[in-house]
Each structure stands twice: as C-alpha cells, then as structure tokens.
A and B are shown apart, each in its own frame.
Chain A
Amino acid sequence: MTKGKNKSTIGRRSILKGAAATAGVALGAGAITGFPTIWAQNIKNVTLRQFGTGVSNLNDVATKVKEDLGFTLQMTALDSDSVTQRAATQPKSFDIADIEYWICKKVWGAGNLQAMDTSKIKNYDKIVGTFRSGKLTPESVIAQGTAPHTVGFVEGPGGKKFVDNESGWMTLIPTIYNADTLGIRPDLIGRPIDSWAELLNPEFKGKASILDISSIGIMDAAMVCEAMGEVKYGDKGNMTKEEIDKTIAIFIEAKQSGQFRAFWKSFDESVNLMASGEVVIQSMWSPAITAVRSKGIPCVYQPLKEGYRSWGGGLGLSSNLSGIELDAAYEYINWYLDGWVGGYLMRQGYYSAVPETSKNFMSEDEWGYWFEGKAAKGEIKSPQGNVLEKAGAVRDGGSFYDRMGAVACWNSVMDENRHMVRKWNEFIAA
C-alpha cells in the first residue's frame, strides 16, 4: 500500500512541477488587450492556481492568459477522483477549481467554494440555456441526473443550498460539456449499432468494456439495462436501492459469463483497448475516439436511439479568494467565456458554454463541422495542428442541437451513493 501511495504522490508532484514550469516558461510581457483596468499593473503579480481534470487544464490556456491578461495561471491536471478529493479536502491548495457539475453537488457542502455574482459575468446572457434554465431550447425536456442548472445556482453569496432559478449567484461558470455514448470499431463489428443494449449482446462476448468509475459507470449500466427493457427507472440519475441492485445484478451476470474484456479507468486505457482491438464496443469519451482515429484505426462515436449520457464542467472559485485575486479570477472567467478557449475546446470536440463567442475563433469550416454537423470542406485539424478528419467527414451524431438535444441523462451523484458504490464494488469483485 505504502508503495502505491508514494507513487501517486510523486506523480502528482511531477505534474505540479510540470505545470509550474510551463507557467514559468509562459513569456509574453503581458500586453493587456481588451481589459484595461486601473489595477492593470498590480494584477501582473497575481498567480491563480487552477486544478481540474486533464480535459480543460491545458497549458496553452495558461500561456494565453499570461499573454492576454498578464497574470499567471498555474494548472494542475488530476483524475476526477483526485479532483473531488482536493476540492473537498484541500481548500488552501487552489484558487480556481475546474470541476464537473456532479462533483460540485458532492463538494459544495464542504464550503470550499464561493458563489459568483452573475452581474459581473459579461457574457452571462449568452451562456446556453442548459446551464441556466436547464432547457437547451424552449421545447427541450430536462434530462435525468444531475442536470447542471440544478446545482448551478445558490440563494446568495455564501449560500449552501442549491436553488432552482437563476438567482444571480452561480456555483460554477460552465466551461465545457459534451454528450457521451458508446464507442465502436465498425470494421470489427460489421453491422449497424443503434442501441445501448448492444453492450451486453453475447455477440461481443469478451470484447466489451465499461468504465470503472462508479458514478459514471452506473449511468452507462443503467442506459444499457433500460435499453434492454430489463429495468425501469424513475430517475437514472438518482436510483433507488432496488434499481441499483437490479442493474448491478444484470452486470454481474454478464461479467461472470465473460462479456467484458476489461474495465478502464483512465482515458488512455480506453484508447489502448480500442486501438489494439481487445475491445470492439465500450463506453468512451469523445477525445478518446479522436485519439484512436488519429492512429488510422476506424472508430465511431455511435449515436444511439436511447440518447446520450452527458456531462458538464465549470470553473468554481475558492472561498479563500478575495481582493485583487478575486477580481483577477472574474477577469479570467470573463476572458474564458470570451471565445478563445471556447474555440480551442470546440476544435477538440467539446462544446463551449458560449458557442457564439467561440465562433469568432473558429474558421467557417471548423464551425460547420464541429457545431453544425456539416460535412467538412477541407481537412479538420486539432488545435495542435494534427489532421483529425479529411474533407467530406461528418461528425458522429451531427450538430450541436442534435447531440445536446438528445441527452437522456446527466452524470450525477445519487442519494444512495454509498449503497451504489458498495454494489459497484461487488460488481468489480464478482
């Protein structure tokens, strides 16, 4: 045990070091463009420490912050369990938490984050409806689970309780979100896949996989069981003990009959499983699909008739922030929603909270491919310049409204969380 612990500390530390080093390398004398303020000189000395999952903790963002805003942003990338842990237990170790909404529900009560005054957020009105009223379009039906707007607002500064209206005090400023589904290897399956139920189809015995992060895995499992018609759920995002037991029982049976090749916990594990052909159908995340494809291996992020399991992340402010640091943090958030980051993230396949500002930082073809679901006219490149798709390619699942409009369930924490985790452990140990 001790050995393992040491290792993780070293890992974390080296990541910290790496992040600090990169932040240090980030030159740019701080040309303050677009944000001239009186304290422009002092703000250069400010350092904000941000941590979060790898998806949005990008060193390019830190470099750009130094360039545009003048202050230093230190990034630390961790896995989602460690992110939760840090947000809940180490309030002094960060200024900005880049966390998912379900993590917010879990850790908000710990009091380490402060609500944000939406009147200070320039683009607040342009944030997509999903994060404010919960409705993407006025006709949208709100999906099950921890929908972002349900944990997006509190009653006031210092508020501990979530409210169901736009109170003007936001817990997290949404940054990125996406709709997840199953990834498949069309070349090895050779027939159309259109339902979550296919994950447990005996045809793929020994070639299926599911992610071993209980809070997300259970949702994928529920999507599967519901699609199979085996279990009916009141709310997949907040299951009863009975629903959890039934779901896990079905998955234990499948596991014991050898349905699964492996379970994965980290992004690269899922990429390797798929790329090596060990697995042909599994729960997957969007950039993992891109990573498999960029190796020249066909891989499809298969839209399914039951809909997507969605997730969203946002920036939260540490309750320790005040004075100039707090101002800098607001400045940073405004900058974040101003489009550059949004464009950057959308070119990786995520969605930005304020798509219309991101549009200014994307070419027409990129916007058409990523957002509107149109066929690419030229090569589609990643922000780093790697070619992701050739001309003519269409995004799996289509346009933003097709994908985000078909969300069946949001990542969530359940009231029966403890029971769920125990049952999940039974599944893993079975």
Chain B
Amino acid sequence: MTEMKTSISGAKLAPGSNLKKLSAKASAQQRTSWYLVSPLVMVLGFFLVLPILTIVIVSFWDYNDYNFFPAFVFENYAYLLTSPVTLATYLKTFKFMILVWIFCTTIGFTIAYFLAFHVRTLPMQITLFLICTVPFWTSNIIRMISWIPFLGRNGLANSALINTGVIDQPLDWLLFSDFAVVLAFVHLYCLFMVVPVFNTMMRIDKSLIEAARDAGASNFQILTNVIIPLTKPGIMIGSIFVVTLVMGDFITVRFMSGGQSASVGRVISNEIALLQYPAAAASAVVLLITVLIMIGIMMRFVDIRKEL
C-alpha cells in the first residue's frame, strides 16, 4: 500500500520538481509507515519471534538432572529423530488428528448447513448458534472429565446398555481407549469447525442457489457444485483450528486414554516435567515444523486470502 502511494505521488511530482525534495518526501513517508508498523512488529517480535528463537536455541543446549546449560549439541535431535518412540507418538497423533478432523468436518458441516439453509429466520439462526456455544462457557477440562464417569465400566453408558439388555458385560473400550480420546476431541473442538463454516455459508449469495435450482440442479448437485466449493475457505479455517489443537494437545490424550496413549504434546510435557528443557525444546521445534508443513499443504488446496 505505502509503496504504491509513494510511487503515485512520485509520478505526479516527477516532472519539473527536483529529486532531492522528492526523495525527502518519500523517505518521510517511509518513516511514517515504519512508525505505523512498528507496534505490530514489536508485539510479534517480543511475543512470537523471540520465544520461538529461544526455543530453537535451547534445543541445541545440553542438560543434566537439574540444570540445562549452553552448548551446541545435536544429541537432542539425534535421539528424537531416530527414536522409535517419536515415530510411534507421531503416528498416534496423526491418527487422532485424522479421525478428529473427519468427524469434526462431517458434524460441523452438517450443523452449519442446517443452521444456514434450513433455519429460515435470522433471530432463530442466531439463537440456535448461541445454543451451540453454551457448552463452551465451561472449561474444556471439565467438559472432558465429565465423560469419565459417563463412559466408565460402571458408568451411565454401560449401565444403560446393560439394563436395556443390549450387552451383558460392560464395554471396556468406552473409556481409557482411543475411542474415548477421539470422542472427547470431537466434543471439544467441533465448534471450531462449525463457526467458520457457518460464517462462510451465511455469506453465500442465496440467488446462486436459486439460479442452480432454476437451471435444474438437484439438492445434492447444489450441495456439491455450489455450497461445498463456496464453503471451502471456512472448512479450511476450521481444519487449521482442529489440526493445530489436536497436534498440540496433551491433557485430553492423557485423561481420556488413562495415560496409556502417548501424543507429541504429552512427550513434551513429560520432558518439561523431568527438567529436560533442551529435549522438550527440540521436540517442540520438530512439532512446530510438522504443523507448519501440514498447514502449508492445506493452504495449497485453498487460497484462503483470495477466497475471503
């Protein structure tokens, strides 16, 4: 923007005016734009770039039982990248991520579709949307932990199933299993998919759907040819939320799997707990790179900036 302005004003002044004046003015404008941008640069610098740089630096340090100290060792990375634990935890984390993404997208899209196209009036849409957010007024830890008594061996779900005669033995896989982890994740993060998808759906010009219908498209064709393509940016934003939240999580996996499943986040939190900060930093750097690559790939599918 600023550059463009400068060049325009520059073009106007160019014939007849002397170059000195021009450059002085340009540099003054440049300075203003630097001033304007500096708060943001400082905020991002202090709170984003600096901490990440620190983490990257510390990841090369060495440590003992109670301390970590400056060094330049690759041991942290060497162990991390060759250990079977890393591979196992990443595979597990990806598995959670993909399952959660599939469920969140399906459920989130359906809810948003219902709100946007089936509910007729705006006040009703807003009311129902707010109802969706009600569970989020409590802490996500509470929402997660409340599943535990529900799913347990003697929990509500099992007793209900036994009482109705569907099963004779309590189902053990309901709690402290991958099922429980995915269930809790979907419950926790579904709204992060609903919101952006609903938002993009609401901005779809209704006349497009009318036009499609006039042209003889069936409901399904409207969905696949009009609504889904136009909702893609919303789905993508929701996906980024879901993917990053699941990749970085450690507490849900710990509680819902009964500590039996590892995720990348849990490994990092264990390392921090054991004062192995450099190892934790190395794990964090690898996780950050992995997530950035994943987001990079997702961005290839949809150009969010263009679509918004």
Residue numbers of A with Cβ under 8 A of B are 1-4, 7, 81-82, 84-85, 88-89, 106-107, 109-110, 206, 209, 212, 214, 255, 260-265, 272-273, 276-278, 413, 417-418, 421-422, 425-426, 428-430
| Bitwise interface map of B from 244 to 271 toward A, beta carbon under 8 Å scored 1, else 0 | 0000111100100111111001111110
Q: Which A residues lie within 8 Å of B66 (CB)?
A: 84, 88-89, 106-107, 109-110
Is B85 within 8 A of A425, CB to CB? yes
Cα–Cα distance between A85 and B274 once the two chains are bound (Å): 8
Q: Which A residues lie within 8 Å of B274 (CB)?
A: 81, 214, 421
Beyond the given pairs A255-B260, A265-B254, A417-B65, 19 more chain A to chain B contacts, judged by CB atoms under 8 angstroms and listed by A's residue number, are A3-B248, A7-B251, A85-B273, A89-B275, A107-B65, A109-B65, A110-B66, A214-B274, A261-B172, A262-B258, A262-B259, A278-B152, A421-B270, A421-B276, A425-B270, A428-B259, A429-B85, A429-B92, A429-B262
From known contacts A84-B275, A413-B65, A425-B270, infer whether A1 and B258 are also in contact, taking CB-CB under 8 Å: no
Q: Which A residues lie within 8 Å of B127 (CB)?
A: none
Q: Which of B82-99 contact A (CB under 8 A)?
A: 83-85, 88-89, 92
Task: Kindly state whether residue B154 has any CB partner on chain A within 8 Å.
Answer: yes
Is A7 within 8 A of B141, CB to CB? yes
Q: Which B residues lie within 8 Å of A263 (CB)?
A: 258-260
Option from A85, A110, A264 in Cβ contact (under 8 Å) with B259: A264
Cα–Cα distance between A109 and B175 once the two chains are bound (Å): 43
Is B259 within 8 A of A277, CB to CB? no
Q: Which B residues lie within 8 Å of A84 (CB)?
A: 66, 275
Option from B268, B273, B287 in Cβ contact (under 8 Å) with A81: B273
Q: Which of B139-154 contact A (CB under 8 A)?
A: 141, 148-149, 152-154
Cα–Cα distance between A428 and B250 once the two chains are bound (Å): 13
Cα–Cα distance between A263 and B258 once the two chains are bound (Å): 6
Q: Which A residues lie within 8 Å of B172 (CB)?
A: 206, 261
Q: Which residue of A lies closest to B258 (CB)?
A: A262
Cα–Cα distance between A214 and B269 once the two chains are bound (Å): 13
Is B265 within 8 A of A1, CB to CB? yes
Chain B's interface size range is 35 or more
Task: Kindly state whether residue B136 has any CB partner on chain A within 8 Å.
Answer: no
Q: Which residue of B lies closest to A211 (CB)?
A: B259
Is A4 within 8 A of B176, CB to CB? no
Q: Which residue of A lies closest to B267 (CB)?
A: A425
From known contacts A110-B67, A413-B65, infer whether A429 and B265 are also in contact, taking CB-CB under 8 Å: no
In the complex, number of A-B residue pairs with CB atoms less than 8 Å apart: 102
Cα–Cα distance between A106 and B248 once the two chains are bound (Å): 30
Is B153 within 8 A of A278, CB to CB? yes
Cα–Cα distance between A393 and B143 once the two chains are bound (Å): 40
Q: Which B residues lie within 8 Å of A426 (CB)?
A: 84-85
Option from A4, A107, A109, A265 in Cβ contact (under 8 Å) with B265: A4
Cα–Cα distance between A264 and B268 once the two chains are bound (Å): 18
Q: Which residue of A lies closest to B139 (CB)?
A: A7
Is A261 within 8 A of B259, CB to CB? no
Option from B83, B141, B268 in Cβ contact (under 8 Å) with A1: B268
Give min CB distance, A120 to chain B, whole Å. Answer: 27
Which one of B67, B141, B149, B176 has the greatest number of beta carbons of chain A within 10 Å? B176
From known contacts A1-B248, A425-B267, A429-B88, infer whether A262 and B65 are also in contact, taking CB-CB under 8 Å: no
Is A422 within 8 A of B265, CB to CB? no
Option from A81, A89, A206, A422 in Cβ contact (under 8 Å) with B85: A422
Task: Kindly state whether residue B79 has any CB partner on chain A within 8 Å.
Answer: yes
15 A-B interface contacts by CB (under 8 A): A1-B248, A1-B250, A1-B265, A4-B251, A81-B274, A82-B273, A106-B65, A110-B66, A255-B260, A265-B254, A278-B153, A428-B266, A428-B270, A429-B92, A429-B261
Identify the 5 closest CB pairs spanning chains A and B, nearest first: A262-B258, A263-B259, A429-B262, A81-B273, A88-B66
Is A212 within 8 A of B259, CB to CB? yes
Which one of A110, A262, A273 has the greatest number of beta carbons of chain B within 10 Å? A262
Q: Which A residues lie within 8 Å of B276 (CB)?
A: 418, 421
| Bitwise interface map of B from 224 to 262 toward A, beta carbon under 8 Å scored 1, else 0 | 000000000000000000000000111100100111111
Is A428 within 8 A of B262, CB to CB? yes
From known contacts A212-B259, A214-B274, A277-B154, infer whether A262 and B67 are also in contact, taking CB-CB under 8 Å: no
Task: Kindly state whether residue B284 has any CB partner on chain A within 8 Å.
Answer: yes
Cα–Cα distance between A44 and B206 once the two chains are bound (Å): 75
Option from A110, A214, A261, A421 in Cβ contact (under 8 Å) with B258: A261
Is B258 within 8 A of A425, CB to CB? no
Give min CB distance, A221 to chain B, whole Å. Answer: 15
Is B270 within 8 A of A278, CB to CB? no
Q: Which A residues lie within 8 Å of B84 (CB)?
A: 426
Cα–Cα distance between A1 and B276 once the two chains are bound (Å): 16
Cα–Cα distance between A88 and B287 once the two chains are bound (Å): 27
Give min CB distance, A78 to chain B, whole Å. Answer: 11
Q: Which of B54-95 contact A (CB under 8 A)?
A: 65-67, 79, 83-85, 88-89, 92
Cα–Cα distance between A16 and B19 once the two chains are bound (Å): 65
Cα–Cα distance between A144 and B132 once the two chains are bound (Å): 57
Q: Which residue of B lies closest to A2 (CB)?
A: B248
Q: Which B residues lie within 8 Å of A2 (CB)?
A: 248
Cα–Cα distance between A418 and B274 once the two chains are bound (Å): 10
Q: Which residue of B lies closest to A273 (CB)?
A: B258
Cα–Cα distance between A106 and B155 once the two chains are bound (Å): 42
From known contacts A110-B66, A429-B85, infer whether A265 and B259 are also in contact, taking CB-CB under 8 Å: yes
Q: Which A residues lie within 8 Å of B273 (CB)?
A: 81-82, 85
Cα–Cα distance between A303 and B287 once the two chains are bound (Å): 45
Is B259 within 8 A of A276, CB to CB? no
Q: Which A residues lie within 8 Å of B287 (CB)?
A: 1
Is B259 within 8 A of A4, CB to CB? no
Q: Which residue of A lies closest to B176 (CB)?
A: A262
Q: Which A residues lie within 8 Å of B254 (CB)?
A: 265
Give min CB distance, A115 to chain B, whole Å. Answer: 17
Give min CB distance, A10 to chain B, whole Å. Answer: 10
